A = this chain, B = another copy of it.
């Protein structure tokens, strides 16, 4: 086994998009950006139809962004939310986004998270989860979302994570359908 450091690299187009992003003032601006990333990921052929951003809840300043990089980085863990969480924590130099004296951060994702990402979100320290497309929309194009149940979302809410659903759901679904129409890889089937 190769034990040299493992590198996770963002596609060039995403780096450019992040560099030019201004504050995302409201929930629609945040979701529109996450959906735009999901669409560009499909158009550039760099991964699955999923995008996520982590922003300062109050100011909308972009802390990090991620897209699905499973195929591109040959790493099944690299869903959009996981990528966004890892880069956000590196930006803060901390293993949690929460903490006394720290800004509050929320994760805005183009589709409701799979079982892995919902768990990852709980450990991330984000105070809120905002979802575009629903779990059933992701399943409708053939993806398995894993063991994620209504109770899973309830569990997060009981621990203080605010959950907001169906934000620009139709726009997010359109990207899912576009991906299927192009014959994109359906992992985890």
Contact = CB atoms under 8 A, between A and B. Distances in A.
B63 A123 contact: no
A115 B146 CA distance: 10
A82 B95 CA distance: 15
Interface stretch (A28-36, A85-93, A102-110): A85-93
A7 interface: yes
A163 interface: no
Contacts of A90: 2, 6, 74-75
Number of copies of this chain that the complex holds: 2
Given A75-B95, A123-B188, A87 B152 contact: no
A99 to B, nearest CB: 12
A162 interface: no
A89 to B, nearest CB: 5
A138 to B, nearest CB: 13
Given A6-B87, A74-B93, A89-B75, A151 B149 contact: yes
Contacts of A114: 119, 123
B123 A91 contact: no
A131 to B, nearest CB: 15
A95 B151 contact: no
A187 B86 contact: no
A123 B6 contact: no
19 contacts: A1-B88, A2-B90, A2-B91, A3-B18, A3-B87, A5-B8, A6-B7, A7-B8, A75-B90, A76-B96, A77-B82, A77-B86, A116-B118, A119-B146, A119-B147, A122-B188, A144-B159, A147-B151, A149-B151
Given A3-B15, A76-B89, A122-B144, 7 more contacts: A3-B14, A3-B19, A76-B96, A116-B122, A117-B119, A147-B153, A147-B156
